[in-house]
């Protein structure tokens, strides 16, 4: 097995920054994310967003170690052990997938390390399993699906056909959608995880008499579904969370995605200063448009930097309080933490459009405002 290992000194300082960061001591961050295999695009975006923010801040006291988990839970666990025991990191971050997060996060927080999640938000860590050292800077897994359900009500859909892979996050997706969606279910299907051919399901959609389709098929599964759906002659409106419509995937779907509404907490045309600066700097640095994963990585780094300006990481209580203030300029505009240290934020509806040669998303309007997750009440902290 090959192991990719980057060790990056986060930044060489801009001299001017000087005293601004002087109160906080050094912080060492261990980033475990997916940099090889099928899901590598997501991890690369999180890493690039995170590294961009650290570079822009120019803080000498922040050191980042990046390792590749290959999307495998057992490797993520080994890397976390190595980072905690031999690298002596203070903060862990980076994991994309919920099953990997469940393998790493409880163990890391039990050893007194902070974990800032830039993507995965399993319900088990939002409710009873919440922890003072665990912050989610992205969303709880159900949130984007809840936003999709709210949009379906607004659009007047009464009879939705629902589709998700047969694994925990897929079940959370349908649960999330049904939590806000008020119409009937024309059908509910769980597909195989990693399934590439959806002809059978599309035929069922055609026969079901549905007036709309909701689907959660992240990554390559979504590409396959959308291409086949567009070619099937079924022309019901489709709605889904942003995961099948992010910047990395859209170019591979092409025209089949045009006009589809999807829900996200972020888009590149969100009108705030922090976001404009982020989008411009990301394109400048990496020569591509940022995805929502990149925005989450960027926000995670800025949250950490904001806390470093207020407290020393060796004082866990003070550092936790500093993180919880969320005193940073999020690219999403409004951003705060609920009692379970998961985001309270706005969710938006986006539409896939073509700008020049590039497929991307355009902001349409709000879906849910100041939305917290459904598990916060179970968190006793």
Partner 1 sequence: MPFILLIEQVLNGVQSGVMLFLMAAGLTLIFGVMGLINLAHGSLYMVGAFAAAAVAAATGSFLLALVAALAAAALAGCLIEMTVIRRLYDRDHLDQVLATFALILIFSEGTRFLFGSFPLFLEIPSALSGPVMLPGGIQYPLYRLVIIGVGLVIAAGLFLLIARTRIGIQIRAGEADREMIAALGVDIAKLYTLIFALGAALAGLAGALVGAIQSVQVGMGEPVLILAFVVIVIGGIGSIKGALIGALLVGLTDTLGSVLLPLFFANFMEASAATSVGSSLASMSIYILMAGVLLFKPTGLFGEA
Q: How far is the CB of 325 from partner 1 (least distance, A)?
A: 35
Count of residues for the chain? 381
Under rule CB under 8 A, residue 110 binds partner 1: no
Residue choice 28, 132, 206, 310 for contact with partner 1 (CB under 8 A): 206
Tokens of 375: 């598990």
Under rule CB under 8 A, residue 355 binds partner 1: no
- Nearest CB to partner 1, comparing residues 9 and 358: 358
Under rule CB under 8 A, residue 220 binds partner 1: yes
Q: Segment near partner 1 (CB under 8 A), from 20-28, 140-148, 250-258, 342-350?
A: 250-258
Site for partner 1 in 15-74 (CB under 8 A): 36-38, 40-41, 44
Under rule CB under 8 A, residue 159 binds partner 1: no
Tokens of 332: 């999403």
CB 371 within 8 A of CB 347: yes
Q: How far is the CB of 28 from partner 1 (least distance, A)?
A: 27
Q: CB atoms < 10 A from the CB of 366, how many?
A: 15
Residue choice 2, 19, 86, 380 for contact with partner 1 (CB under 8 A): 2
Residue choice 192, 273, 315, 370 for contact with partner 1 (CB under 8 A): 192
CA pair distance 344, 359, nearest whole angstrom: 29
Under rule CB under 8 A, residue 203 binds partner 1: yes
CA dihedral 265→378→93→337, nearest 10 degrees, is: 50
Under rule CB under 8 A, residue 228 binds partner 1: yes
* CA proximity to 239, closest of 347, 345, 157: 157
Q: How far is the CB of 9 from partner 1 (least distance, A)?
A: 24
- Nearest CB to partner 1, comparing residues 208 and 306: 208
CB 50 within 8 A of CB 301: yes
Q: How far is the CB of 192 from partner 1 (least distance, A)?
A: 5
Under rule CB under 8 A, residue 254 binds partner 1: yes
Residue choice 189, 210, 260, 303 for contact with partner 1 (CB under 8 A): 189
Q: Segment near partner 1 (CB under 8 A), from 82-90, 124-132, 221-229, 313-321?
A: 221-229
Under rule CB under 8 A, residue 251 binds partner 1: yes
Q: How far is the CB of 27 from partner 1 (least distance, A)?
A: 28
Q: Segment near partner 1 (CB under 8 A), from 72-80, 252-260, 305-313, 340-348?
A: 252-260
115 φψ region: left (φ > 0), alpha (ψ -120 to 50), beta (else):
beta
Under rule CB under 8 A, residue 253 binds partner 1: yes
- Nearest CB to partner 1, comparing residues 165 and 241: 165
Q: How many CA atoms lie within 13 A of 118 on its CB side?
A: 35
Footprint of partner 1 on this chain (CB under 8 A)? 1-2, 36-38, 40-41, 44, 166, 171, 188-192, 194, 196-197, 199-201, 203-204, 206-207, 219-221, 223-224, 227-228, 231-233, 248-249, 251-255
């Amino acid at each position: 097995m090959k192991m990719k290992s980057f060790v990056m000194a986060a930044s060489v300082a801009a001299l001017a920054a000087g005293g601004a960061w002087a109160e906080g001591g050094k912080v060492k961050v261990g980033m475990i994310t997916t940099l090889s295999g099928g899901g590598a695009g997501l991890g690369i975006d999180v890493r690039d967003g995170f590294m961009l923010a650290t570079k822009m801040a120019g803080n000498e006291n922040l050191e980042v170690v990046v390792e590749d988990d290959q999307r495998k839970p057992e490797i993520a666990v080994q890397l976390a052990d190595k980072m905690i025991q031999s690298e002596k990191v203070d903060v862990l971050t980076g994991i994309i997938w919920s099953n990997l997060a469940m393998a790493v996060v409880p163990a890391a927080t039990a050893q007194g390390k902070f974990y800032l999640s830039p993507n995965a938000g399993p319900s088990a860590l939002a409710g009873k399993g919440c922890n003072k050292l665990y912050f989610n800077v992205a969303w709880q897994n159900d949130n984007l699906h809840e936003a999709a359900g709210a949009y379906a009500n607004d659009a007047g859909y009464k009879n939705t056909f629902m589709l998700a892979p047969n694994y925990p996050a897929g079940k959370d997706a349908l649960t999330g959608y049904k939590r806000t969606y008020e119409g009937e279910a024309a059908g509910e299907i769980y597909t195989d995880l990693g399934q590439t051919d959806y002809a059978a399901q599309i035929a069922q959609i055609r026969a079901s008499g549905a007036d709309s389709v909701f689907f959660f098929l992240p990554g390559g599964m979504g590409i396959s579904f959308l291409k086949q759906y567009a070619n099937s002659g079924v022309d019901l409106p489709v709605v889904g969370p942003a995961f099948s419509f992010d910047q990395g995937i859209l170019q591979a779907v092409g025209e089949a995605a045009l006009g589809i509404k999807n829900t996200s907490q972020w888009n590149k045309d969100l009108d705030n200063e922090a976001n404009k600066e982020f989008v411009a700097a990301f394109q400048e640095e990496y020569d591509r448009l940022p995805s929502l994963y990149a925005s989450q990585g960027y926000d995670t780094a800025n949250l950490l930097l904001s806390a470093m300006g207020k407290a020393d990481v060796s004082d866990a209580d003070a550092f936790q309080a500093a993180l919880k203030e969320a005193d940073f300029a999020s690219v999403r505009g409004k951003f705060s933490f609920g009692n379970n240290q998961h985001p309270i934020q706005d969710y938006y509806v986006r539409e896939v459009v073509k700008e020049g040669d590039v497929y991307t998303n355009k902001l349409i309007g709000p879906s849910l405002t100041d939305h917290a997750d459904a598990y916060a009440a179970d968190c006793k902290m």
